[in-house]
Amino acid sequence: MVSNLAVKAFIVNSKEELFIVKRSSDDVQNPGLWELPGGRLNVDESPFDGLKREVKEECGLDIEVLNALSVQFYEQFDGKKITMINFVCKSLNKEVVLSNEHSEFEWIPLVKTKSKLCKYFHKEVDLYKKFFK
């Protein structure tokens, strides 16, 4: 059973590139949307453990969760209210293996992220540049 709490990974490498993934075309909510990897937590799952699990399942990366970046609140298309915590992370490996949830991935320079990354995460890009660079 999943909770109403979601987590996303803002993964930045040493070249100041952000890891983003594209939702597959058969996604129910937002097909083709470029986003951050992550997802909903299981009931009683810690945000750190859940984020590590979600990123591993979605793209095969092992991550280290470094700092909380932001909290967002939104309503899904079915009316369910979700609280989402975004975390700054670093990847511990380089081999990406996408699940069927996503069709593509990219390491995109932070200076170009707003041209591709969905608008829901533009605030996180600004916060990262302000507090973590």
> 63-79: per-residue pLDDT in tens?
999 999 999 999 888 88
In 3D space, the residue among 11, 3, 24, 18 whose CA is nearest the CA of residue 61 turns out to be 11
Distance CA 113, CA 38 (A): 18
Percent of the chain with pLDDT over 70: 100
DSSP, collapsed to helix, strand or coil, labels residue 113 as helix
Is residue 117 scored above 80 in pLDDT?
yes
What are 43-58's pLDDT values in tens digits?
Answer: 999 999 999 999 999 9
**Entry pTM:** 0.95
Domains of the chain: 2-126 (3.90.79.10)
- Output the pLDDT for position 79: 86
